[in-house]
Chain A
Amino acid sequence: MAATPTRLAAMPLLATDTLPGHRVTFGQDQALKLDCGVMLAPYTIAYQTYGTLNADRSNAILVCHALTGDQFVAETHPVTGRPGWWEAVVGPGKLIDTQRFFVICVNVLGGCMGTTGPREINPANGKVFGLKFPVITIGDMVRAQAKLLDHLGIDQLFCVIGGSMGGMQVLEWASKYPKRVFCAVPIACATYHSAQNIAFHEVGRQAIMADPNWCGGNYIPRGKNPTKGLAVARMAAHITYLSEAALTRKFGRRLQEREMVTYGFDADFEVESYLRHQGITFVERFDANSYLYITRAMDYFDMEAEHGTVAKAFADTTVRFCVISFTSDWLFPTSESREIVHALNAAGANVSFVEIATDKGHDAFLLDEPEFHKTLDGFLDGCCEHRGLPRR
């Protein structure tokens, strides 16, 4: 189980053009204006869908993935072979029932599962983008998703839902395209990335950039991969997704397949072994430069800076909101969700807010949390009634 450097460095880079799902490329005539000023064209959006769009195109739900998620929300992951990242919630007969809803999940701009990002070929010169890829924002990700919806002929989404960075996209959707969203569920997120969160991201980025195999971001042409740095970034980040209570419950101070400590730096403790495993499995499916770009997009997110006040970002909105937080989430604590709610109240928005009691930390939104699921189910069902969609 211990991560040997040789094994990590030898991992091949993933080919994305054979992945399942859909891809659409937008040409020069449909350039995407990025917040940094660059006109991006052409660009490709990789996405996956589940279920069927109804006749009046009113049953679409956009699921927005988090930092290290991807479009494979409700199916066995084509690279890792593990269940889709939100199969607890999305699927046939599940809470977001793919027999009733048309579910769309888009690999974010800057991602590494087929959407244009730093690991893809720059059409301008036929070389891998690497650090030549423009810095993107949450706003850019959402703008690209809106282009995809135009392409799919969907005027209004029934629901936009997501946790963590997915929640930031939900807020951005509701703010920038209020007429295209009937209801919005931002989960375990905030209207800005806090200093502490930026700090953790910086640790991750520095770990990647300190890996000699990163080669100044130019590792792909050189046949290298900064897997050690990326694994460390993942390990540090993974701690922030859990809670002290959850770590204690899962691992305590238990030793890893041994009776006593070894007086060395092998993974003596179960928690070390677990984190190393998280690091190793992550690098099989994720690109180091993508990690830099997407963490940066989160860091730059700040609705108050953009709009003056967060309430202004949602002025006169008709979107129905359900904000959800978790008691033990210290990455996006309840206080930050409460700020969203206060801003929505100030804007006169229709908003529900629930804080779910759990010790599972930030990642609780991905897990089997009955109270969370019950709340979400009731909210969506109520919104179905208001939207005139068939209820459960």
Chain B
Amino acid sequence: MTATVRARADLRPDLQHIADMIAPNTRVLDIGCGDGALLEYLVHSRQCDGRGVELSQAGVHACVSHGLSVIQGDADTDLEHYPDQAFDYIVLSQTLQAMRQPRAVLSHLVRIGRHAIVSITNYGYWRTRLSLVIQGRMPIVGEPGHRWYDSPNIHLCTTRDFLDLCKELDLAVERGLSIDRRGSARPVTMIDRLTNLRDEQGVFMLARGRR
């Protein structure tokens, strides 16, 4: 039996955009790695030394039983144990909104990784805004089967909110991608009102500020 190498096409669009930011043969830590789709791609197709952290037992089982190096852990509490600059890249995809301390987590990311790649759901997306305005209900984004009271997503932000926090933390935004509903991306560095309205997701590569 050989390892199932997921084809490029199988990666979720935002994961593919993240993968494209990562140079081959580098050390990568994926926080909230789920079933290990991105890690497996990076390890097998980019020859990366990939590690992961995942909260759910099901996710960890899926990863470890596929031969990936993943620990069952919680980014809110476990990141402090990693040494400075231990990884070339540290990835946090669609996980920031589930953190109890997103601000502290972001600070750890740029401490542990030379580059931190963070993907977020933009709650400023026009459809999301519209559903709140018209239906008068909290939008549930990207979490089918969840309602407001049981969603793991507890700290929601728009792309503008996110970039404001990056500025506050003195993080350098090295690259930015705004991703629309169909998964196609356009580069962004400064967020304008239109981007914040138009696109559903954002992927940003961050580093410690260079003052």
Contact = CB atoms under 8 A, between A and B. Distances in A.
Given A352-B69, A353-B72, A355-B72, A392 B64 contact: no
B71 A351 contact: yes
A375 B72 CA distance: 12
Contacts of B72: 353-355
A381 B67 contact: yes
A374 B65 contact: yes
Given A354-B57, A354-B64, A382-B68, A348 B1 contact: no
Contacts of A342: 78, 81
B91 to A, nearest CB: 16
Contacts of B51: 350-351
A374 B67 contact: no
B67 A385 contact: yes
Contacts of A322: 64
Given A341-B73, A382-B67, A348 B2 contact: no
Interface string A335-361: 000100111011010111111110000
A352 B81 contact: no
A200 interface: no
A219 interface: no
Nearest 5 A/B pairs, CB to CB? A382-B67, A378-B65, A353-B71, A342-B81, A352-B64
Contact of A353 (B1, B3, B73): B73
A354 B60 contact: yes
Interface string B1-24: 111000000000000000000000
Nearest to B87: A348
Given A353-B73, A385-B67, 11 more contacts: A322-B64, A345-B78, A345-B82, A348-B86, A351-B51, A353-B70, A353-B72, A355-B72, A374-B65, A375-B61, A378-B65
B27 to A, nearest CB: 9
Contacts of B3: 382, 385
A379 B81 contact: no
Nearest to A382: B67
A342 B74 CA distance: 12
Nearest to A377: B65
Interface string B83-112: 100100000000000000000000000000
Contact of B70 (A348, A352, A391, A392): A352
A320 interface: yes
Nearest to B29: A345
Interface of B: 1-3, 49, 51, 57, 60-61, 63-73, 78, 81-83, 86
A360 to B, nearest CB: 16
B78 A375 contact: no
Contact of A345 (B64, B70, B81): B81
A385 B3 CA distance: 9
A105 B102 CA distance: 48
Task: Give chain B's interface secondary structure class.
Answer: mixed
Contacts of B81: 342-343, 345-346
Contacts of B65: 374-375, 377-379
B60 to A, nearest CB: 5
Contact of B61 (A338, A371, A391): A371
A360 B73 CA distance: 22
Contacts of B70: 352-353
B70 to A, nearest CB: 6
Contacts of A392: 1
Interface in A378-392: 378-379, 381-383, 385, 391-392
Given A342-B81, A379-B64, A382-B66, A352 B1 contact: no
19 contacts: A323-B71, A343-B81, A345-B71, A346-B81, A346-B82, A350-B51, A351-B51, A353-B72, A353-B73, A354-B64, A355-B72, A356-B57, A357-B57, A374-B65, A378-B66, A379-B64, A379-B65, A382-B67, A392-B1
Contacts of A383: 67
A42 B57 CA distance: 49
Nearest to B58: A371
Contacts of B1: 381, 391-392
B61 A354 contact: yes
A66 B82 CA distance: 31
Nearest to B63: A352
Residue among A320, A342, A391 having the largest count of chain B Cβ atoms under 10 Å: A342
Residue among B1, B51, B72 having the largest count of chain A Cβ atoms under 10 Å: B72
Contacts of B2: 391
Interface in A39-53: none
Contact of B83 (A346, A356, A382): A346
A320 B69 contact: yes
Nearest to B67: A382
Contacts of A381: 1, 67
A341 to B, nearest CB: 5
Given A345-B82, A355-B57, A378 B71 contact: no
Nearest to B78: A342
B114 to A, nearest CB: 14
A345 B60 CA distance: 16
Contact of B67 (A345, A348, A357, A379): A379
A354 B62 CA distance: 11
Nearest to A323: B71
Nearest to A337: B72
A48 B82 CA distance: 40
B184 to A, nearest CB: 35
